[in-house]
């Protein structure tokens, strides 16, 4: 039964290779990789917007603080203007001019603070949008990871079954044949062990010479031979 058992070993190995390939190349892995890259890009954008918010908030506070200082100075000058402390016409006019300049400066600073506040609100909205999008991506990533884990477990069960079937088959084969098969399999794959079709090695790209065909035909049925052309294991 070595011939059939060898074919069973080969079948198990081919199926195991197929399962391992499927395990490594399932569609969910590509989708997960894309989702992780998307999340990384989102994080960069979130960090960029967050840094911009810090800068804008700092700018807003600076404008508000400066406006408050200027307002306090203008209020103080107003008090001087109406306190009678300043008597000369020119001094009064100069003080009024200074107050007007301070109020104008205060208004400009308050406008800049308002612009910064509006910019901060826009950035806050942008952060909310980005964070919502990241939640969606995180959900997608979690779903894909669960799908991959489930698929891996199912495939691993099939691989284990192939391993058991192979071990049973190996028990029925001469260890020397198993060793020879395992040496050839990496290069010949699913056509390592082939049948003799009556006139040729069914896995060989070359044509068996007539003398070799005659030799194989005279071997006992069930023999495991070697193709003189390609080196495959040929089942008589």
Q: Residue 196 forms beta bridges with which residues?
A: 201
The predicted-structure confidence for 82-133, as pLDDT tens digits, reads as follows 777 767 777 667 868 888 999 899 999 999 999 999 999 999 999 999 999 9
Question: Residue 104 CB: number of other CB atoms within 10 A?
Answer: 12
CATH of region 2-172, choose from 1.10.287.1490, 3.30.470.30, 3.40.30.10, 3.30.830.10: 1.10.287.1490
101 HSE (CA, 13 A, CB side) = 6
Distance CA(99)–CA(17), nearest Å, equals 87
Helix 89-170, helix 27-83: angle, nearest 10? 170
The three-state (H, E, C) secondary structure of 157-194, written as one string: HHHHHHHHHHHHHHCCCCHHHHHHHHHHHHHHHHHCEE
Q: Where are the domains of the chain?
A: 2-172, 174-236
Question: Residue 13 CB: number of other CB atoms within 10 A?
Answer: 19
Q: Give the predicted TM-score (pTM) of the model.
A: 0.68
For residue 3, name the pLDDT band (cuts at 50, 70, 90): confident
The predicted-structure confidence for 20-53, as pLDDT tens digits, reads as follows 999 999 999 999 999 999 999 999 999 999 999 9
Is the confidence at residue 1, as pLDDT, over 60? no
- Of 11-15, 86-90, 205-209, the range with the lowest mean pLDDT is 205-209
Is the confidence at residue 200, as pLDDT, over 90? no
pLDDT of residue 129: 93
What Cα–Cα distance (Å) separates residue 84 from each residue in 72, 75, 87, 89, 91? 19, 15, 6, 12, 11
Is the confidence at residue 210, as pLDDT, over 80? no
Length reported for the chain: 236
Is the confidence at residue 225, as pLDDT, over 90? no
């Amino acid at each position: 039964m070595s011939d059939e058992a060898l074919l069973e070993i080969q079948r198990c190995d081919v199926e195991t290779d197929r399962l391992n390939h499927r395990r490594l190349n399932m569609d969910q892995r590509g989708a997960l990789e894309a989702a992780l890259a998307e999340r990384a890009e989102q994080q960069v954008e979130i960090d960029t917007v967050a840094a911009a918010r810090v800068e804008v908030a700092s700018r807003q506070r600076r404008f508000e603080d400066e406006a408050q200082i200027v307002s306090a100075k203008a209020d103080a000058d107003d008090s001087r203007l109406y306190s009678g402390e300043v008597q000369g016409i020119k001094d009064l006019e100069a003080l009024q001019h200074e107050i007007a300049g301070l109020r104008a400066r205060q208004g400009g600073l308050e406008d800049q603070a308002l612009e910064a506040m509006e910019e901060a609100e826009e950035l806050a909205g942008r952060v909310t949008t980005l964070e919502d999008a990241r939640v969606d991506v995180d959900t997608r990533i979690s779903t894909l990871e669960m799908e991959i884990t489930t698929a891996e477990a199912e495939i691993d069960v099939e691989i284990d079954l192939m391993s058991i079937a192979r071990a049973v088959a190996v028990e029925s084969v001469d260890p020397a044949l198993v060793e020879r098969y395992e040496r050839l399999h990496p290069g010949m794959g699913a056509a390592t062990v082939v049948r003799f079709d009556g006139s040729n090695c069914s896995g060989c790209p070359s044509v068996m010479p007539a003398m070799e065909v005659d030799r194989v035909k005279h071997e006992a049925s069930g023999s495991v031979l070697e193709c003189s052309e390609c080196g495959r294991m040929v089942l008589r």
